[in-house]
Amino acid sequence: MKGDTVISLENVVLDFPITKSSQTFLKEIFTRRAKESKIGKFYRAVDHITLDIKKGEVLGLIGPNGAGKSTLLRIIAGIYAPDKGSLSVKGQVSLLAGLGAGFQRNMTGQENIFLSGSIYGMSKLELTELMPSIVEYAGIGDFIDQPLRTYSSGMRARLAFSLTSHISPEILLIDEVLSVGDSSFKEKSMSRIMEMVKGDATVVMVSHNAEVLREICDRVVCLNNGKIDTISDDINEVIMRYRELSNLK
């Protein structure tokens, strides 16, 4: 491994409450993942996960739909607090998920940059100096002064990635962001991630792209039903297990 442990999860559990009328609940009855507690029915999204991630490591997360990948990322990011177990994270964390998650749709692109950047401890002067580069990288031109609600999903994704890549967090969490945008944007995103990987950044990424996982990951974890099914630095082994679980050829 590359360095000291910067992310440590010990027997982490997270339950989501569900209602009897929920379609999700009916689905979970058949998959036997719905459980009873004193407070009612709940769905175990993350089930006793223990995992250590080293500084500078690139860890991939893969698994069937509903395996708990995105939920685990949000636990590491501090969005969800575990119901049981412990979590330790050492370093500045940035979660890049979906299409500009966390942006305010009624604020302009520029206002969102100042708001999001300030959350990561950057001054207005720093962000002002970086603004031209952020806008150029995102390729959104004059739209930077328009409300985010006028942006296409691809524009929001490009702006979110551009901002995060300029902040250069110590720990970068990526949730399928390489699946959005056109081919040019995907190539730029991949190149930027590779730059961060070669530096000191610790990266945890959810992706179903086997080529990407093979190229940049030190280890890959396959989750299934909220648990770690397989974890290895033999990337092909984990990908094969994922395909078995997902009934893919």
Is it the case that residue 201 has pLDDT exceeding 50?
yes
Per the structure, the complete domain to which residue 118 belongs is given by 104-158
Please give the pLDDT value at position 29: 41
Residue closest to 164 by CA, chosen among 222, 227, 98: 98
49 or 22: whose pLDDT is higher? 49
Polymer length in residues for the chain: 249
Pairing of strands 58-62, 202-206: parallel
Is it the case that residue 139 has pLDDT exceeding 70?
yes
Does residue 148 sit within a domain? Answer: yes
If asked whether residues 241 and 179 sit together in one domain, one would say yes
If asked whether residues 82 and 174 sit together in one domain, one would say yes
Mean of all residue pLDDT scores within the chain = 84
If asked whether residues 87 and 209 sit together in one domain, one would say yes
Does residue 164 sit within a domain? Answer: no
Please give the pLDDT value at position 40: 57
If asked whether residues 85 and 193 sit together in one domain, one would say yes
If asked whether residues 132 and 36 sit together in one domain, one would say no
Residue 190 to residue 178: CA distance in whole angstroms: 7
If asked whether residues 78 and 177 sit together in one domain, one would say yes
Q: The domain spanning residue 26 has which CATH number? A: 3.40.50.300
Please give the pLDDT value at position 108: 96
pLDDT band at 2 (very low <50, low <70, confident <90, very high): low
pTM: 0.78
Residues 104 and 112: beta-carbon distance below 8 Å: yes
If asked whether residues 179 and 86 sit together in one domain, one would say yes
Does residue 96 sit within a domain? Answer: no
Residue 195 to residue 173: CA distance in whole angstroms: 15
Does residue 142 sit within a domain? Answer: yes
- In this structure, how many other beta carbons lie within 10 angstroms of the beta carbon of residue 117? 21
If asked whether residues 67 and 182 sit together in one domain, one would say yes
Show the tokens assigned to 108.
């302009």
Is it the case that residue 227 has pLDDT exceeding 80?
yes
Please give the pLDDT value at position 32: 44
